Amino acid sequence: MNSAERWLWVIGIGEDGWDGLNLEARQAIAAADFLYGGGRHLALIPDQSSSATRIPWPSPMKSAVQEILSEHRNNRRITVLASGDPLFYGVGVPLTRDLAESEFRVIPQVSALSLACARLGWPVAETDVVSLVRRPISQLRRYIYPGQRILVLSEDGRTPIEVAIFLTQAGFGDSRINVFANLGGPSESVTTGLAATWPEVPSGNLNVVAILCVRDGVFESLSLVPGLPDEAFETDGQMTKREVRAVTLAHLAPKPGELLWDVGAGTGTVGIEWMRAHPSCSCIAFERHDDRTARIQRNAERLGVPGLRVTYGHAPQTFAGLASPNAIFLGGGVADENLFQACWKALASGGRLVANAVTIESEACLASRHARHGGTLMRMLVSRAGPVGNSHAWRPMMPITQWTVTKP
C-alpha cells in the first residue's frame, strides 16, 4: 500500500448502532484489518459484519492514537469508531491533523450539538459549546451571560450536578438546564430543571447538558471587550490599570489561535484578557515572584481562562524550548536590554511587541528601540475623579509611555 492510498477510516456511530450506518461506513468496517473504538462502540458492531481485530481504547487514548499513526500507517486498513461526528471534539481531530487528505476518510453521524439543538429548537449557530471532558469547569465562566445558550459535553454522570452548582454560585441559579442522556438512541431521555434546585443525583454517563442562562440578580456579567474593571482581579497592586490595559490589548490585537507571551505578568491582567478575546487564544505568563504566579492562576480560573500557563522564574532564561509567540507584552523589566533582545529574537515574523514604560529610564530605552526598529510611540495621561471634601477633583495616574512595533 503506497502513501497515496487511503488507509484510515473514521466512522461516526450513533446510539442506533449498526442500523444507523450507511453503506460506505459498513464497507469500511467490513474491510478493516483493525477496528478501534470504545467498548460501547465495538459492541454495536455485529460479529458477522467484521473479521477485524477489535481493539478497545485504552485510558488515556494517546498511546493507541500514536500506535495507529506510527505502526499501522500505510500498511494496514484501520477503521476507528467514534461517537457522532468524529471531528466534533472527537478522536478524528488528533488522528487526521497531520495526515494528507488522500490518506483518510471521515464519515460522520449527527453530532450531539445538532441533536440537542433539534430537541430544543435552538439555532445551532447561536449556541456555544463547552467540553468538560478532562477540562476544568472554570472555563464555563467565560460563556455565561443572560440569555446565552450553552451546550456542555459531559465528562460523566456527575457533570450536570457540578454545572448546576457552578451556575448557582456564579449568580445564574435561575438558569434552565436540560440533561439529555443517550441522545439519538432508543433509551434517550431528558431531565429538566433549574440550576439552583438541581438534584444531586448522577445522570447516565453518556449525557450532554443544555443551558439557557438566566441571571438571578446577584452576579454582574463581565464584558469580553478588553478593559475589565480593576476590581475584577485579585492583586497586590502590581497590575496594568483598566484604561491602559484596554489600549494595550488593542495594540496587541489578539486574533484566533494566537499565542501571547506576557513578560513580567504581575497580576496577569493582560494575558487573561487576551485569552478571553477568543477561546483559541493562548498565553504564557512569565513572573519571577512566587506569590504572584499563584495569584495569576487564581485570577485566570475565576475569569474563565484556566488554560493560561504561568511560568515561574527569571526571564529570559525561562524562554528556552517554548513556541514562538505571535505577540509579546513587555510589562516588567522594560529597561533590561538583554530581556528585550531575547523577546525580539523569540517573536515570530509579523508578530507584535508592546512595551509600557513608567520610569524615565525605561522610557529612554523605548525611545532608543523606537529609533532602531521603528513602530509607534505614544504617551497616555489618565486621570480619575475622586472626592475632595464635599466635591470632586481629578487625580492623575502615572503617565505611561507605550511603544508598539511589528517584527518584519
pTM of the model: 0.89
Contact 38/135 with Cβ under 8 angstroms? no
**Per-residue pLDDT, 15:** 87
CATH class assigned to 113-212:
alpha beta
Q: Is residue 103's pLDDT more than 60?
A: yes
Phi-psi label, residue 40: left if phi above 0, alpha if psi -120 to 50, beta otherwise: alpha
User: 92: exposed, middle or buried (C-beta count within 10 Å: 0-12, 13-18, 19+)?
Assistant: buried
Q: Is residue 366's pLDDT more than 50?
A: yes
The residue assigned the cell 492510498 is 5
Contact 329/262 with Cβ under 8 angstroms? yes
Cα angle vertex 275, ends 146, 116, to 5°?
45
- Within 68-206, strands assigned E span 78-83, 104-107, 127-131, 149-153, 176-181, 189-194
Spatial CB neighbours of 139, under 8 Å, sequence gap ≥ 6: 130, 132, 304, 305, 306, 307
Pairing state of beta strands 400-406 and 376-380? antiparallel
- The fraction of the chain above a pLDDT of 90, given in percent, is 91
Contact 281/200 with Cβ under 8 angstroms? no
Q: What DSSP designation does 148 have?
A: -
Radius of gyration of the chain (CA): 26
Confidence grade of residue 81 (pLDDT, cut at 50, 70, 90): very high
**Per-residue pLDDT, 60:** 87
Report pLDDT digits (tens) over 135-148: 999 999 999 999 99
Q: What is the mean pLDDT of residues 322-332?
A: 95
Q: What is the mean pLDDT of residues 244-261?
A: 98
**Per-residue pLDDT, 1:** 41
Indicate if 113-212 has the same CATH topology as 8-109: no
* HSE (side-chain half, CA atoms, 13 Å) at 380: 21
Contact 329/263 with Cβ under 8 angstroms? yes
What is the torsion angle, in degrees rounded to the nearest 10, for the CA atoms of residue 264, residue 268, residue 270 and residue 272?
140
- The fraction of the chain above a pLDDT of 70, given in percent, is 99
* pLDDT, mean over the chain: 94
Please report, for the chain, the start and end positions of each structural domain, with discontinuous segments joined by +: 8-109, 113-212, 230-406
Helix (H) or strand (E) holding 162: helix 159-169
**Per-residue pLDDT, 2:** 41
Q: Is residue 4's pLDDT more than 60?
A: no
Q: What is the mean pLDDT of residues 246-261?
A: 98
**Per-residue pLDDT, 5:** 81
Q: What is the mean pLDDT of residues 141-162?
A: 96
Contact 35/57 with Cβ under 8 angstroms? no
Confidence grade of residue 74 (pLDDT, cut at 50, 70, 90): confident
What's the fold here for domain 230-406? Rossmann fold (3.40.50)
Q: What is the mean pLDDT of residues 331-349?
A: 95
Contact 259/325 with Cβ under 8 angstroms? yes
Confidence grade of residue 218 (pLDDT, cut at 50, 70, 90): low
Q: What is the mean pLDDT of residues 243-266?
A: 97
Report pLDDT digits (tens) over 39-53: 999 999 999 999 999
Q: How far apart are CA 35 and CA 25, in angstroms?
A: 12
Contact 330/353 with Cβ under 8 angstroms? yes
Q: Of 158-172, 210-224, 356-370, which range is least confident?
A: 210-224
Q: What DSSP designation does 184 have?
A: T
Cα angle vertex 15, ends 9, 21, to 5°?
40
Helix (H) or strand (E) holding 376: strand 376-380
What CATH homologous superfamily does 8-109 map to?
Tetrapyrrole methylase, N-terminal domain (3.40.1010.10)
